């Protein structure tokens, strides 16, 4: 005899059937389980681009899920509206006794779930850990406090990792408990006011598996290749982790069992992901623009609109920055090294508030995740939990020479510099006029002059941070 006769499994950022905590518990504890996804109008209304790649990714993943459910004699219920009205309404209509879902740690989502729980009344809302390996307070310091620095956190994370935390939920064993449903038409993306066309990656569980297969053939080189944007050195799994089209346990397990330097280095990145989620849980004010280190709340950024626009549009005159930003605008993707360098450049060369950059990335990144994006921005701005001091400032030219030594990433994304000789590719403003004439690359005309002088900007940054600290 099962606990419930009918239940809903409410999918959110976990768009898969395999190794799914909430679905596993729902199927095991209920006779009949309906799978539901809600296009949340509160979230969709905030998106100004009606061809948003993320929405397309979700829709594509849901279509795949729906087709898998139909093959199993069930279907995916797709709703649109506000969670606190739509979920309880459907729960009452289907006469379920419980709603199962996986925990979401973003402050807005926590508030949403609390409101849904109240609106459900006597219908239970069961929540599970699924999105991370270790959630909020599972990894604490010796004195029972959350970590504020990554390296000791990662050491504790690795120490605690074992078969129990890595084990998959055997959903397949219980699939017979899926509710039998008459075939229903799957709603079009257009019916929610969005359209398709921009997404360049394959969504869904199938898409994730292909990306993983490819990465597993390269994982042993990860530690050597991961910092070079022109190499195919990283996994490209972030969007799949963001929307849960693959299980974090599966990925961590693969890396853990494989061993070796490449896999160990990659596992460490997965720990960063948990770390930032943990931080957001303990410091929900991060989502409201607060600096992790309060002493950096009152830095007087000059916030020049024209400099911000040059950064957004990839016309700062620093080729590596411009190539990174143009790639982001074109595809929604940006390599981690470039995220660090572009973020640092905005804050420490252009003196624009990191919150402006965070917002721009949030609007454009395919894998946008509040915890990781905020963590990354605050790390780059030195307002976050970086062990490095605030006076560490990336030099955009040195970074360019080191991580795109032949300029191949730059040339690919800046066609106007395609013929630029290696000698000038990282700092084309130094190219003599005679070379500019010969190559038809006119700095200041066909490619911009640097919007700032890095050496001067650096001095101003040091003063700006010192003054901000003084005010604290
Ligand atoms: C300013 C800035 C903003 C960022 N914004 C985001 C974001 O919105 N969403 C996002 O997923 N990542 C973000 N990152 C982290 C990182 O850049 C991306 O996760 C990575 O580039 C994704 O590519 P990949 O899947 O090939 O990564 P891999 O190198 O293959 O890493 C594997 C996975 O580990 C996780 N990961 C890797 N690095 C980090 C990190 N520094 N912090 C947290 N998780 C990490 C990701 O889930 C990633 O998919 C940001 C970093 C910076 C510096």
Question: If you write DSSP's letter for every residue of 193-212 in order, what string do you get?
Answer: T-------S--HHHHHHHHH
**Rounded alpha-carbon distances, angstroms, from residue 316 to 117, 345, 396:** 49, 10, 11
d(CA 327, CA 159): 38
Report whether 78 contacts 217 (CB < 8 A): no
Q: Is the pTM value of this prediction over 0.95? A: yes
pLDDT of residue 468: 78
Mean pLDDT of the chain: 96
| pLDDT at residue 362 in the model | 97
pLDDT of residue 184: 80
Helix (H) or strand (E) holding 425: none
Q: pLDDT category, 392, cuts 50, 70, 90?
A: confident
What integer is the mean pLDDT of 10-16?
Answer: 98
Report the alpha-carbon distance of residue 63 to residue 69 in Å, rounded. Answer: 10
Residue 471 in this model has a pLDDT that exceeds 80: no
> What pLDDT score was predicted for residue 39?
97
CA distances 290 to 250, 382, 414, 466, Å, are 34, 13, 35, 19
Residue with tokens 């959630």: 135
Residue 251, phi then psi, degrees to nearest 5: -70, -45
Angular region, 370: left φ>0, alpha ψ -120 to 50, beta rest: alpha
Ligand 1 binding pocket (C-beta < 6 A) is: 226, 234-238, 241-242, 269-270, 272-273, 276, 336, 339-340, 343, 361, 365, 367-369, 372-373, 375-377, 380
> What is the dihedral sign for C-alpha 90, 92, 94, 100?
positive
Once rounded to an integer, what is the mean pLDDT over residues 186-192?
94
User: CA angle 46-354-238, nearest 5°?
Assistant: 65
Q: Are 102 and 86 in contact (CB under 8 A)?
A: no
**How many Å apart are CA 310 and CA 296, to the nearest integer?**
25
**Closest Cα to atom 16 of ligand 1:** 336
Q: Which pLDDT does position 261 carry in this prediction? A: 98
Q: How confident is the model at residue 128 (pLDDT cuts 50, 70, 90)?
A: very high
Mean pLDDT is highest, among 40-49, 110-119, 380-389, for 110-119
**What is the pLDDT averaged over residues 240-261?**
98
- How far apart CA 252 and CA 264 sit, in angstroms, is 10
Q: How far is Cα 459 from Cα 463, in angstroms, rounded to an integer?
A: 6
**Residue 189 pLDDT greater than 70, yes or no:** yes
Q: Calculate ∠ Cα 179-180-181, nearest 5°.
A: 105
- Which pLDDT belongs to residue 185? 85
Nearest CA to ligand 1 atom 45: 273
Distance 372 CA to ligand 1 centre (A): 7
Q: Angle formed by the axes of helices 248-258 and 204-216, to 10°?
A: 10
**Ligand 1 pocket mutation, candidates 157, 269, 345, 386, criterion most atoms within 8 A of CB:** 269
Q: Whose CA is nearest to atom 31 of ligand 1?
A: 269
Residues 6+ apart with CB under 8 A from 448: 310, 315, 316, 317
Q: d(Cα 389, Cα 385) in Å, to the nearest integer? A: 10
Which atom of ligand 1 lies nearest, measured to the CA of 365?
Answer: 8
Q: Phi then psi for 390, rounded to 5 degrees?
A: -65, -20
Q: Are 243 and 56 in contact (CB under 8 A)?
A: no
pLDDT in tens, 35-82: 999 999 999 999 999 999 999 999 999 999 999 999 999 999 999 999
Reading the block at residue 369, the tokens are: 């995740």
Q: 279-334, pLDDT tens digit by residue?
A: 999 999 999 999 999 888 889 999 999 999 999 999 999 999 999 999 999 999 99
Do the beta carbons of residue 383 and residue 293 sit within 8 Å?
Answer: yes
Domains of the chain: residue spans and CATH: 4-129 (3.40.50.620), 132-168+206-282 (1.25.40.80), 294-471 (1.10.579.10)
What is the Cα–Cα distance from 143 to 398, expressed in whole angstroms?
41
From 273, 341, 354, give the residue whose CB has the most ligand 1 atoms within 8 Å, as the site to mutate.
273
């Amino acid at each position: 005899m099962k606990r419930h006769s009918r239940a809903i499994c409410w999918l959110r950022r976990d768009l898969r059937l395999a190794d799914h905590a909430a679905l596993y518990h729902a199927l095991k504890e209920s006779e009949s389980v309906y799978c539901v996804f809600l296009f949340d109008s509160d979230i969709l209304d905030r998106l100004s681009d009606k061809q948003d790649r993320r929405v397309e990714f979700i829709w594509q993943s849901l279509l795949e899920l729906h087709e898998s459910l139909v093959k199993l004699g069930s279907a995916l219920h797709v709703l649109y509206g506000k969670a606190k009205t739509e979920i309880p309404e459907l729960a009452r209509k289907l006469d379920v006794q419980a709603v199962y879902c996986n925990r979401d740690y973003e402050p807005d989502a926590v508030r949403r779930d609390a409101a849904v729980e109240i609106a459900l009344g006597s219908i239970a809302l069961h929540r599970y850990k699924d999105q991370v390996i270790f959630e909020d307070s599972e990894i604490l310091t010796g004195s029972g406090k959350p970590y504020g620095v990554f390296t000791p956190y990662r050491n504790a994370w690795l120490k605690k990792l074992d078969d129990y935390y890595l084990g998959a939920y055997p959903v397949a064993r219980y699939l017979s408990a899926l509710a039998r449903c008459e075939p229903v038409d799957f709603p079009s993306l257009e019916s929610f006011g969005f359209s398709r066309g921009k997404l360049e990656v394959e969504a869904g569980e199938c898409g994730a598996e292909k990306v993983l297969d490819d990465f597993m053939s390269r994982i042993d080189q990860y530690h050597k290749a991961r910092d070079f944007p022109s190499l195919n050195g990283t996994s490209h799994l972030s969007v799949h982790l963001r929307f849960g089209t693959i299980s974090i346990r599966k990925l961590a397990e693969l890396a853990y069992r494989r061993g070796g330097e490449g896999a160990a280095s990659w596992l460490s990145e997965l720990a960063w992901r948990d770390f930032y989620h943990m931080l957001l849980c303990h410091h929900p004010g991060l989502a409201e623009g607060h600096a992790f280190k309060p002493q950096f709340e009152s830095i007087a950024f000059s916030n020049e609109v024209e400099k911000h626009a040059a950064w957004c549009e990839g016309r700062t005159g620093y080729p590596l920055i411009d190539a990174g930003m143009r790639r982001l605008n074109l595809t929604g993707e940006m390599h981690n090294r470039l995220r660090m360098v572009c973020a640092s450049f905005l804050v420490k060369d252009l003196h624009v508030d990191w919150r402006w950059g965070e917002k721009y990335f949030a609007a454009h990144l395919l894998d946008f995740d509040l915890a990781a994006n905020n963590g990354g921005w605050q790390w780059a701005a030195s307002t976050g939990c970086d062990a490095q001091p605030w006076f560490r400032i990336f030099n955009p030219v040195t970074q360019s020479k080191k991580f795109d030594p032949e300029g191949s990433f730059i040339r690919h994304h800046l066609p106007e510099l395609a013929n630029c000789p290696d000698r000038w590719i990282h700092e084309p403003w130094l190219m003599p006029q005679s070379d500019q004439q010969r190559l038809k690359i006119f700095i200041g005309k066909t490619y911009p002059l640097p919007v700032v002088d890095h050496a001067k900007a650096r001095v101003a940054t040091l003063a700006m941070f010192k003054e901000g600290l003084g005010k604290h």
